[in-house]
Amino acid sequence: MSAFCFQRPSWRGAVFTILVLLSWAQPVFSQEDLVTDLVTLDELADSAMEWAEENLDQDVLASLSQIDREKVRQALADLQKKLGGAYVLDLAPFKDTAKSLVPLLRSYEETTPYAAWLRSRLDYFDVAEELKRASPVPKQPQEKPVPTPIPSPKAEREIWMKQISKTSWPEAAKPLIPKLKPIFKQAHVPVELVWIAEVESSFDPHAKSPAGAAGLFQLMPATAKRFGLRRWPFDQRYTVEPSARAAAQYMAILHSRFKDWRLALAAYNAGEGTVQRLLSSRKARGFDEISGSLPAETQMYVPKIEAVIERREGLRLDQLRSGEG
């Protein structure tokens, strides 16, 4: 169990916990690009407040403004260490915290969309724990700290296959899959990629991340704008067909650029610029060569989607064919 403990929360405490833990749980990067420059603690605190102003109900914001700023700063200082790393195994100690947070988020109308977002990621913590258990432990104390190991992509794929093999179709997917597949086919994208929605939102169109991504396919505002989705007077990211069309078009562009579905999925999650920079700097051509330098979530995201598609459709990524199915 992490250092965060949940008692019956006050509203201010709940908002604070939500802001801090969700800010940690998903690094704030857009689907267009990942910001890799280090930022100061003041900038992180300011960014958190800017996010709150844009995303939280005014009543929530009023409560948030009363929170002791130093506590926010200290919590963000602790989280910055996590956000700055790429260590999947560091997610493991937060398993209980994440699971405890979901019902807390559900208890407030304003934060229910974040509960949907987090719920679809709870198995990240389960898999991180499994990977940590499988990691070699030094037989004797070391004079120098041992760096956190980075699981191999092969190990992650194997554990994700075991994890997803325990699951069945999400109930919410049953009415949506027949609507989504024709949209992906029209975009000349393998229809099996509609299962991205299971990983992104558990097929909940109301899901929203603390970074501002929204809908079935967790589109960022910039991505929505890029593909012609309106955000006013109604945000089309929360509407099934427009959001699916944008996601399919984006996946088509990413695959055209990277010529590989693993890299395309990594770019969808971590940003095109991030993937391209890593490929160029390492003179690499495949996901496995750059995986360990990607954000921890992206390291988990790609093999999870692989496992979901193989479980739901009986196909590997390298068997997918554009516009077929």
Q: What is the CA radius of gyration of the chain?
A: 19
Distance CA 218, CA 250 (A): 12
For residue 219, what are the β-bridge partners? 214
Res. 67 pLDDT band, cuts 50 70 90: very low
Please check whether residues 69 and 175 belong to one and the same domain. Answer: no
Count: domains in the chain: 2
Please check whether residues 175 and 110 belong to one and the same domain. Answer: no
Question: Catalytic site residue 53?
Answer: no
CATH number at residue 313: 1.10.530.10
Please check whether residues 101 and 159 belong to one and the same domain. Answer: no
**Angle at CA 271, nearest 5°, toward 117 and 263?**
100
| Averaged pLDDT of the chain | 78
Q: Which residue has the higher pLDDT, 46 or 78?
A: 46
Please check whether residues 36 and 184 belong to one and the same domain. Answer: no
Res. 145 pLDDT band, cuts 50 70 90: low
Put residue 296 in one of left, alpha, beta given phi > 0 → left and psi -120 to 50 → alpha: alpha
Please check whether residues 247 and 179 belong to one and the same domain. Answer: yes
Q: Is residue 247 part of a domain?
A: yes
Q: What pLDDT shows up at residue 55?
A: 54
For residue 34, what are the β-bridge partners? none
| Average pLDDT for 37-57 | 49
200, 297, 306, 310: the active-site residue? 200
Q: What pLDDT shows up at residue 85?
A: 52
Please check whether residues 285 and 185 belong to one and the same domain. Answer: yes
Confidence check: pLDDT of 239 > 70: yes
Q: Is residue 124 part of a domain?
A: no
Please check whether residues 112 and 189 belong to one and the same domain. Answer: no
Please check whether residues 183 and 305 belong to one and the same domain. Answer: yes
Q: What pLDDT shows up at residue 99?
A: 77
Distance CA 102, CA 59 (A): 21
Q: Which residue has the higher pLDDT, 118 or 308?
A: 308
Please check whether residues 259 and 158 belong to one and the same domain. Answer: yes
| Average pLDDT for 190-216 | 93
Distance CA 224, CA 213 (A): 9
Residue 51 sits in which domain range? 11-86+93-118
Q: Is residue 77 part of a domain?
A: yes
Q: What pLDDT shows up at residue 37?
A: 39
Q: Is residue 235 part of a domain?
A: yes
Please check whether residues 167 and 313 belong to one and the same domain. Answer: yes
DSSP 4-46: ----S--HHHHHHHHHHHHHHHS----SS----S---HHHHHH
Q: Is residue 42 part of a domain?
A: yes
Confidence check: pLDDT of 35 > 60: no
Confidence check: pLDDT of 246 > 90: yes
- Lowest-confidence pick of 103-112, 177-186, 203-212, 226-235: 103-112
Confidence check: pLDDT of 41 > 50: no
What does the buried/exposed string (b/e) look like for 109-142 if buried means 16 or more CB atoms within 10 Å of the residue's CB? eebbbbbbbbbbbebbbbbbbbbbeeeeeeeeee
What does the buried/exposed string (b/e) look like for 88-102 if buried means 16 or more CB atoms within 10 Å of the residue's CB? bbebbebbebbebbb
Q: Is residue 261 part of a domain?
A: yes
Q: Which residue has the higher pLDDT, 169 or 323?
A: 169
Tens digit of each residue's pLDDT (9 = 90 or more) over 91-116: 888 777 777 777 766 877 777 887 88
Q: Is residue 295 part of a domain?
A: yes
